Amino acid sequence: MRNKHKQVDFSHAVPNPFFEQLSAEITFRLDFRSIEYFEGLGRPYGLPAQDMIRMYLRHMAGSGYKANLGILTLKEREELKKSLEAEGKLPLEE
């Protein structure tokens, strides 16, 4: 029977000089509920939460999707502040 996997000789392979530019290692805290969510997503695929988070973020960034987080942008906050100041409804800062 013929071997389905072709043998490749990597002894002359050159390291990718752009590897460091392709990704960066970051550290952030994540709540247990979110971790459990991604563990559940990865379970059917046999993938850990970290891999699922990485793939999910890559997909979101690649699609251009912007989630409505229910918070005002810096510009919106500044406009609201100016509007409240103009109406005299801005509380005094202590």
Residue-wise pLDDT for 29-82, tens only, equals 999 999 999 999 999 999 999 999 999 999 999 999 988 899 999 999 999 999
The radius of gyration of the chain's CA atoms, rounded to the nearest angstrom, is: 24
Counted domains in the chain = 1
Evaluate whether residue 39 is within a structural domain: yes
**pLDDT of the residue at 18:** 74
**pLDDT of the residue at 38:** 98
Evaluate whether residue 18 is within a structural domain: no
Contact of 53 with 38, CB cutoff 8 Å = yes
Q: Which domain holds residue 65?
A: 30-87
Evaluate whether residue 72 is within a structural domain: yes
Per-residue b/e over 29-57, b at no fewer than 16 CB within 10 Å? Answer: eeeeeeeebbeebbeeeeeebeebbeeee
Evaluate whether residue 93 is within a structural domain: no
**pLDDT of the residue at 17:** 78
Highest-scoring range by mean pLDDT, 6-10, 17-21, 47-51, 62-66: 47-51
